[in-house]
Structure 1
Amino acid sequence: MKRSLLVLMTCLFSALSSIGQPFCTVKTFNLRDGLASNTVTGITQTPDHLLWISTWNGLSSFDGYGFINFRDHTDKGRVLTTNRLLNIQPCVNNNLWCVTYDLNPYIFDRKRCEYIDISQLIRERFNTEFHTMRALTMSNGKTWLLNIDPGSPAFLVDDNDYLSKKGISIFFDKKQNLHNETLKWVWEDNKKRQWLITDKRISIYNGNYKSELPFAHITQVGDDIFLATTDGRLSRFSEKEMTAVPISVPSVIHEIYQLLDDGRKRVIALTDAGIYVYDSKSNKGLLITLPPLSLATGKIEEILPDSKGRIWVSTDNNGILLINEGETTAMPVTTPQMPLLRQSNVSFFHEDKHHTIWAATGGGFFGYYDETRKEMVSSPIRTSTMQPFIDKTFFDNQGNMWYTGEHNLTIVNFGYNHLSQVTGMQEVRSTLYDHTGRLWVGTLTGEVIAYTPKGELIGYLGKDCRLHQQPSRFSSHIYCLEEDSQHRLWIGTKGDGLYSITTTGQMQHYLHDDSDTYSLPSNQVYDVHEDHQHRIWVGTFEKGICLLQDDQFIHGENQLKGYPISDFHKVRRITETKEGVIIVSASNGLVTFSEKFNRPSDIHFHAHKYVKGDTTSLMTSDVMQTFVSSSGTIYVATVGGGVQQIIDKNLLQDHLKFRRMAPLSDCGIVLNIEEDNNKNLWIGCENSINMYDPKSKQMWRYGPGQIGESTEMTEAKSSYNPQAGILTVATNDGFVSFMPERLKEEPFVPPLVFDGIQFHGDQEMRLMPTNDSLEVPANRRNLTVHFSALDYQDNYQIEYCYKLEGVDHDWNYIGKEHSISFNHLPHGHHRLLVRSTNSIGQWIDNTRFLHIYAHP
């Protein structure tokens, strides 16, 4: 074929080199989604992984599906002085500390589903007014409340026993020998000891250590604890001697601002002379100098040691610095010019699970570090509803970033693109990898477009059989692209017949002619197949199949008399087994016949349809594709019936038997099937690409979280390039290409929570008690239990099942529904079991139990 090798770099088309790029997806929530208020003041996560949000209008919980709001109403039982919350902190028992805007502390007790006024308890027990900015929760179930008034007492609260007299203790200065000192912070080490940091010293609560020096900073590196003063002195705590042992630092260090653990047995001290890195194993230190500009004009705002041993630094003049492991100087990182519309008001770094470094600066930049280009790349986080503005951030247990600005709540999911997605085109209805590895795609509007094996655009096929730089329409809807053993390109269209193009650029156009019974029987060509005898078969969507012989088409209205054209005239696909049995997939079933015949009129056809009441027949008669795997297994994809397997070895008989395949029968509408080099099947559905392993009989589902929220697959056959190991699937506005072995990764195991209950007649759902125990009154045994698998990154494809012990013998599979309704729940003790899949459809071991007692 004559062609022009044109590599076109346009914004419309991307290359497969984009595989392996970081990306982020963004979703914003507001009042319309059920959030208590558009003004968010705090975000946190309780140990059960449920997300909580404090707002100007009370507290909200979020389970990935919806919000439950907890306001203190204005009736006589009101506890909060105001619903305007300042911040929240989680307790180890899954309760929450809430501080209101007027600085009063409260516990939100999830077992009671009510607020407890701690400031009132303090007032009643200790006859003193108390206000605080925040609660400091400890792992032993105790919480420190620091007084906003310097020199005034602090309080220690038992989160599990706060209502008893011993549940709240006053912390006097004289009790800890801290006369005329102010408790500023409490820090906990890995031995669960609590270190009290005052304006004059550090001491261990209920311990034997009180420092002589005014240490202001503390961190732990492995089992070693390091302390520092603001005037530049660094020490290591000796467990044996119970004292702080000084560490010699360079004399140029006069101030220390911060201590950090880098996760590699090193402590990092941010100083006025640069960054001092001290190795706790070798007892050696290294002073890293920063560019003069960063210290002279920019205060260091954030620092991050990453998993590669590098150190990242941001300054308030919007600079980002990088220190490679072992180097003594920090190098500026090229960062895009600040946008006119700022995306951030704060500085931070984040290393995601793919080890991508994400950064934000106070000047408005947000993006990631490109490891190849060695520079920062901007990543817009604008949603359709608002211009983003990051002011407060929270990273959950999955590494998702939640942020709020002036209004609303937004989640940012960080990913790594294992797919190359070409969008901005018309709907693609056909794909083909030819013998050279080039990718051809045909669109609904008639373009035939060629790409190099690397995914770079070559050009648009014209009627002159050349590839052109500018978009060119070849014909009408391109529904079929095939290459035969002579490397001829066959192009089937919907409405414009069939084309063939030779390697020398000679084109033949076949059309239906009413006056010629041996012309193409229909201009709607959906498939072309070359059998083992090198004969060309054509599938049409009006007149069934036909055989091309000497420029004549043999079909059901001339010599192919035995073909059941009345029932099987709408043909989608033609395929063939290794034994030479040809299988026709049509809208009304399957047709099988042997390629071994002398005359077309001798062919004996076998028809197969759905038979009502026969579980061994086709699930539905509307067949999208029949696929023969490399092992010889035959899979049949139907509309609404998922995927079945042909059981019979002899295909040349009537009434073939099929069997359902449990993981594949619930796929919905299966559009196409392809096989990779590892013998895995890739099954395209409307909004997911599924991988099925025939050996383990497991399936992985890749949905909107991996391929895009708005991406929809088309009926086009997917194509696989075995040399490059790349699979291409057609979409509603382009195509998706990926390397299957890179797509598979270990998915997140979402924890399950019972998050709500709604009794019949109630307008609102109630919060479920945190002890997974529920009492049901005798007159309220009609109820709905709500639960969630907490995957805040991608819960779209999570499915559930449940079992009520003593009632159900088997699991009840309820799909994506995450609630169960009971009518007249039997009285007595019950145990409800719930489990779920992960985000890619695998059933996992995350079973959760709810103990129910229904009163008689």
Structure 2
Amino acid sequence: MMDATSLRWEQSLRGWGPLCLCAFLLCGGVAPAQTNGRDRSIGQFYHSRWTIKDGAPGQISAIAQTRDGFLWMAAAATLYSFDGVRFERFEPPSGDPVTSIQTLVASPDGGLWIGFQHGGAAYLKDGQLTRYGEAQGLSPYQLASFAFDADGAVWTGSRQAGLLRLRDGRWHRVGADWNFPGTQATALFVDRDGTLWVSAADTLVFLPRGSHSFRDTGVRVGWVGRIAQAPDGVIWIAELDGNVRPVVRANGEPLPAPARIEVQSGGMVFDREGSLWLSTLGDGMRRVPHAERLGDRRIGRFDPAAEIFTEKDGLSADYVWPLIQDREGNIWVGTSGGLDCFRHSSLVLAEFPRGSHDFALAAGDDGALWAGSTNRPLMRLHDKQVEFAALDEPIRCAYRDPDGIVWFGTSNGIWRIEDGRPVLVATVPVEANTLQVQAMTKDAAGGLWVAMSMGGLLRWKDGAWTRMDEQLGMAARTRILSATTDAWGGVWLGFNDAVARVDQGLVRRYGAADGLHLGVVTALRAGRRLWVGGQFGLVHFDGQRFHPFGVASGEPLRGVAGILEMPDGGLWIHAVPGIFHFSAEEVARVVADPSQLARGERFDFLDGLPARPTLLRPLPTAVQGTDGRLWFATSNGVVWIDPTRIFRNPLPPPVHIRAVRVDGRLLAPGPSLTVPARTMNIEIDYTALSFAVPERVRFRYRLEGVDEAWQDVGTRREAYYMHLEPGRYRFRVIAANNDGVWNETGATLELILPPAFFQTWWFRALCIASALAGLWMLFLLRLRQVRARMRALLEERHRERERIARELHDTLLQGIQGLILRFQSVAELLPADAPVRVAMEKALDRAEAVLGEGRDRVKGLRAASESTGELSQALAGVGEDLELNPPEGFHVVVEGQPASLDPLVRDEILRIGREALVNAWQHANARRIEVELTYDYGELRLRVRDDGCGIDEEVLQAGGRHGHWGLSGMRERARKIGARLDIWCRSESGTEVELRVPAAVVYRGDPKRTWRNRLRCIVGGGR
């Protein structure tokens, strides 16, 4: 059953949204945040650098980004490409090395123009390098710059050769026919309207789009190294004598009183937000956030209007020359020590002094932030300015109550802000004044609850302290690490392994049995829901139980130190892995089904987070300012984020396949690639050109024909395949940028893997045929072995029969014959009419008959070996011996061409046929008997049919009558020669006996049994 507190909580959840919004407005409301890139200092940009130890080239003299997304840079007479992760040296296909490069400019058609320090130029596109020299109209002087007008024409110039234009593969000098003054052109630039600006000798001229006549601005200039256009259209120049200044408007009208920045700059660019970035020759970087506000000011070297970023701040070197902005808005800088990048980060480092630590944060009015620490006085940050207040005590806890009052807890008491300054409100009671404040919250009655770091719970109201741990029955040393108050005035307290709610003196404790498995509870937040964070994750309370809030992240949500719930139900979590943001819809989905994992975005060191949160104190580490910004305290500084102005990268990254390695050998990729036969290992290197956060670019690839689905490989930029079967494959790779914007088209590579000779279809067919032939030969060999064994058995049996026949003839029959003769002689001694002699002569006649029958049996044993006629004739002879009556009732029919038979097998067939004829004549009383003998290619068939009375079914099933061995003997003979014997009979309808002997057993020595005759027989259907 639900208790009263749980029931009231659940019933009130439905109406908590409006109440939460009202309370939020009472706390000061949320003013629209006015933050953009120009409100940040140069030190608040996310800065990355690559030096020689990271693989970057040193002494970078030029940088450009081509249309395909690659960054190109020149250093030490070498050209490099960069994809955000790897630097790769470019080697011309011809093998001719490139000389020292002065200028790199990307053309609109996707190519790259290269100007060399010792004269000449080259054009690089699709891996092919086209060189231009004196033969193509270029003078042997250094080219200062390239420009591309709206009509697609290519322009270049130098101090010695003047202005040149490329037409029909040759460079032509531009002079009086174009109204171009002088013979010098030190800087070229095409503005947003397509106007070509050229620094010519000591003046600045421009060529409007579509015109063929330059116009003079009348502005006197020195040696101009760079020309740029500000967002308001004003044209700026950087003079090598140490001045950067705006000179004319976009229509060529000179400015009446231009500003001047005194700096020797080798590079100049306006970013998308209008800030001016400058490189210097030995003094690092400069940034002017609001160049349009300078008016006619003169900015010196250390003027605060121009921010400074040098090697001391992390720049790879102070000597800076090339400077560009890429397609995603990042600023790239080439120095004598390496490559640097400045980009917007979602998290902005607050301007608190370096070295401050243990920040206790509380939101002030008008977007200000109060921050206490353990090593500095109380600080107030407002409009990027930090003010110190007269409170030097180490501050361990800060709290803004629902009435907008800011409280601080120190070791000597409780302070609050009154009229913009801290005031000591009360000292901690004597028995607890050696402890420090851990957590604070205000209840519905206005009482301030104060939890001490080493145990103890106090309440301050109307100037008096009350020991709440004693009233609530808590142990004096119970450690409370976090506290909050819900919408109904109930006070929630977080312990080492549990939470408790106190309401009107009643305490309800929740622990593991209620779904709380967080370890130490370090964060509490009561909004639409009660959120509890701890060592092992985050849970929410539904009025009865706590439910886990799982996160779909590579790193589990651990060490929650701050929780912020937005008015719409969205959630921000500050934890050890970083800062997590979950939309209101995602929170509602996971709350409805706690088994689901929440999908959100994570901000970590790649977004400007300087360190991890503190997990002991001060807590919480996250607060929301009255201007809507969210502030997070870490062990190494404070950062803020404006949830309404998070920098997003909307550009899908271009995807390229850089190289293919086949068994360790590098091949240049193309739309289609044929790899060598018998390839074992294939490695495909690919990349995606997103420079905002290249470490977060994710890839998926698929080899059609091998992978059934897309392989999500995270940030890995190589694909590996082994032991592919020959065939055609299509490799596809797609990528997403740091904000999850996918390039669904990606890059494609056709792979052709030709078969080796042993992988071709004809080789496989040959192998199959060879295997079948081998099996057939084994089968024939086995048949020969079986036939030889069977013949040996038959010959042995035949010899045994002949031996028995000889023995019977030479012993038994001869002995009986002798006995008959002796008895005959004895009988003749008796009188002719003596009864004894008559009886004896009858007995002797019977003995003669038995002896004749015995001779017939012995003759039968030897008949097979002695008979050499055709089988059908032998069967006809059996019928004659049986003296079948009537004789016209017996017929022998032969089908096919008679062939030579194995004599032993022929003997067995004859005996089976003889037995069948004897049975039909003696036992079936048949009047018609027919013998059919078929010589077929695959077998020899013998059928004996009669029209007699048939065989009883029970006798047939039993294998013959008791004491008779005819049927069983026929079956035994058939088994011995490997034949099949079938007997069919119907009562009063006769019997049919069929014997089927395989050709391999019965035929022998037939010259007609060649493969041609066999094929003819198969086609013709006979033998």
TM-score (norm 1): 0.61
The answer on whether the counterparts of 1:413 and 1:793 sit within 8 Å (CA) in structure 2 is no
Question: 1:106 aligns to what?
Answer: none
The separation in 1 between residues aligned to 2:258 and 2:753, in whole angstroms, is: 66
1:322 pairs with one of 246, 256, 260: 246
The separation in 1 between residues aligned to 2:744 and 2:330, in whole angstroms, is: 23
Aligned-partner residue type, residue 658 of structure 2: D
The separation in 1 between residues aligned to 2:571 and 2:531, in whole angstroms, is: 19
Identity between Structure 1 and Structure 2 (%)? 16
How far does residue 528 in structure 1 lie from its aligned partner after superposition?
Answer: 1.0
Question: Aligned with 2:231: secondary structure?
Answer: coil
- Confirm or deny that 1:64 pairs with 2:91: no
Question: Aligned with 1:743: secondary structure?
Answer: coil
Aligned-partner residue type, residue 303 of structure 1: I
1:848 pairs with one of 747, 753, 758: 747
Aligned CA distance change for structure 1 residues 190 and 779 (closer, same or farther; 3 Å): same
- Confirm or deny that 1:537 pairs with 2:467: no
The separation in 2 between residues aligned to 1:448 and 1:554, in whole angstroms, is: 38
The separation in 2 between residues aligned to 1:263 and 1:679, in whole angstroms, is: 44
The separation in 2 between residues aligned to 1:30 and 1:366, in whole angstroms, is: 17
The separation in 2 between residues aligned to 1:17 and 1:411, in whole angstroms, is: 22
- Confirm or deny that 1:357 pairs with 2:271: no
How far does residue 538 in structure 1 lie from its aligned partner after superposition?
Answer: 1.1
The answer on whether the counterparts of 1:302 and 1:349 sit within 8 Å (CA) in structure 2 is yes
- Residues 210-359 of structure 1 correspond to what in structure 2 (within 5 A)? 215-216=174-175, 227-231=178-182, 260-264=189-193, 268=197, 270=199, 275=204, 299-323=223-247, 325=249, 328-329=254-255, 331-333=257-259, 335=261, 346-359=265-278
1:792 pairs with one of 684, 688, 691: 691
The separation in 1 between residues aligned to 2:344 and 2:232, in whole angstroms, is: 19
How far does residue 281 in structure 1 lie from its aligned partner after superposition?
Answer: 10
The answer on whether the counterparts of 1:421 and 1:737 sit within 8 Å (CA) in structure 2 is yes
Question: 2:308 aligns to what?
Answer: 379
Aligned-partner residue type, residue 540 of structure 1: F
2:121 pairs with one of 111, 134, 139: 134
Aligned CA distance change for structure 1 residues 22 and 282 (closer, same or farther; 3 Å): farther
Aligned CA distance change for structure 1 residues 798 and 405 (closer, same or farther; 3 Å): closer
Question: Aligned with 2:696: secondary structure?
Answer: coil
Aligned-partner residue type, residue 544 of structure 2: L
Question: Aligned with 2:644: secondary structure?
Answer: helix
- Confirm or deny that 1:465 pairs with 2:414: yes
Question: 1:728 aligns to what?
Answer: 631
- The C-alpha deviation readout for 1:421-472, integer Å capped at 9, x for no partner, is 25535555764447997755566x5999574776855644443434699999
- The C-alpha deviation readout for 1:301-330, integer Å capped at 9, x for no partner, is 433222211222333332222347487435
The separation in 1 between residues aligned to 2:256 and 2:306, in whole angstroms, is: 19
The separation in 2 between residues aligned to 1:286 and 1:40, in whole angstroms, is: 35
- Confirm or deny that 1:570 pairs with 2:520: yes
- The C-alpha deviation readout for 1:47-85, integer Å capped at 9, x for no partner, is 43233445448554432222344679xxxxx98576875
The separation in 2 between residues aligned to 1:31 and 1:852, in whole angstroms, is: 36
Question: 2:340 aligns to what?
Answer: 411
Q: Which has the higher strand share?
A: 1
The answer on whether the counterparts of 1:215 and 1:230 sit within 8 Å (CA) in structure 2 is no
Question: 1:125 aligns to what?
Answer: none
Aligned CA distance change for structure 1 residues 694 and 539 (closer, same or farther; 3 Å): closer
- The C-alpha deviation readout for 1:190-246, integer Å capped at 9, x for no partner, is 454668999699787459x999xx7349xxxxxxxx9442249xxxxxxxxxxxxxx
Aligned-partner residue type, residue 524 of structure 1: R
The answer on whether the counterparts of 1:521 and 1:553 sit within 8 Å (CA) in structure 2 is no
How large is the RMSD of aligned CA atoms in angstroms? 5.6
Question: Aligned with 2:723: secondary structure?
Answer: coil
Say which structure, 1 or 2, has more relative contact order (CA 8 Å, 6+ apart). Answer: 1
Unaligned runs of 5+ in 1: 1-14, 73-77, 104-131, 148-152, 156-170, 174-180, 218-225, 233-254, 339-344, 588-621, 627-633, 635-649
How far does residue 486 in structure 1 lie from its aligned partner after superposition?
Answer: 5.1
Aligned CA distance change for structure 1 residues 144 and 57 (closer, same or farther; 3 Å): closer
Bigger CA drift: 837-846 or 50-59?
Answer: 50-59
Question: 1:669 aligns to what?
Answer: 557
Question: 2:68 aligns to what?
Answer: 48
Number of residue equivalences? 657
Question: 2:608 aligns to what?
Answer: 707
Bigger CA drift: 483-492 or 820-829?
Answer: 483-492
Aligned CA distance change for structure 1 residues 46 and 316 (closer, same or farther; 3 Å): closer
Question: Aligned with 2:320: secondary structure?
Answer: coil
Question: 1:235 aligns to what?
Answer: none
The answer on whether the counterparts of 1:775 and 1:854 sit within 8 Å (CA) in structure 2 is yes
How far does residue 389 in structure 1 lie from its aligned partner after superposition?
Answer: 0.7
The separation in 2 between residues aligned to 1:55 and 1:706, in whole angstroms, is: 30
The answer on whether the counterparts of 2:115 and 2:143 sit within 8 Å (CA) in structure 1 is no
How far does residue 380 in structure 1 lie from its aligned partner after superposition?
Answer: 0.9
The answer on whether the counterparts of 2:73 and 2:79 sit within 8 Å (CA) in structure 1 is yes
The answer on whether the counterparts of 1:496 and 1:524 sit within 8 Å (CA) in structure 2 is yes
TM-score (norm 2): 0.53
Aligned CA distance change for structure 1 residues 47 and 436 (closer, same or farther; 3 Å): closer
The answer on whether the counterparts of 1:314 and 1:361 sit within 8 Å (CA) in structure 2 is no
The separation in 1 between residues aligned to 2:622 and 2:163, in whole angstroms, is: 69
How far does residue 43 in structure 1 lie from its aligned partner after superposition?
Answer: 4.4
The answer on whether the counterparts of 1:475 and 1:493 sit within 8 Å (CA) in structure 2 is no
1:752 pairs with one of 641, 647, 655: 655
Question: Aligned with 1:796: secondary structure?
Answer: helix
Aligned-partner residue type, residue 20 of structure 1: D
- The C-alpha deviation readout for 1:740-779, integer Å capped at 9, x for no partner, is 112244444321222244556x4xxx76634254444444
Unaligned runs of 5+ in 2: 1-33, 300-304, 392-407, 428-432, 587-597, 756-1023
The answer on whether the counterparts of 1:674 and 1:718 sit within 8 Å (CA) in structure 2 is no
Aligned CA distance change for structure 1 residues 499 and 805 (closer, same or farther; 3 Å): farther
The separation in 1 between residues aligned to 2:486 and 2:163, in whole angstroms, is: 86
The answer on whether the counterparts of 1:801 and 1:813 sit within 8 Å (CA) in structure 2 is yes
- Confirm or deny that 1:495 pairs with 2:467: no
The separation in 2 between residues aligned to 1:582 and 1:93, in whole angstroms, is: 58
- The C-alpha deviation readout for 1:12-64, integer Å capped at 9, x for no partner, is xxx999982253444443442234x6455654545432334454485544322
Question: 2:716 aligns to what?
Answer: 817
- Confirm or deny that 1:652 pairs with 2:544: yes
- Confirm or deny that 1:370 pairs with 2:289: yes
The separation in 1 between residues aligned to 2:241 and 2:156, in whole angstroms, is: 34
Question: Aligned with 2:732: secondary structure?
Answer: strand
Aligned CA distance change for structure 1 residues 416 and 624 (closer, same or farther; 3 Å): closer
The separation in 2 between residues aligned to 1:714 and 1:564, in whole angstroms, is: 27
Question: 2:538 aligns to what?
Answer: 624
The answer on whether the counterparts of 1:419 and 1:738 sit within 8 Å (CA) in structure 2 is yes
The answer on whether the counterparts of 2:41 and 2:307 sit within 8 Å (CA) in structure 1 is no
Q: Which has the higher helix share?
A: 2
Aligned-partner residue type, residue 290 of structure 2: E
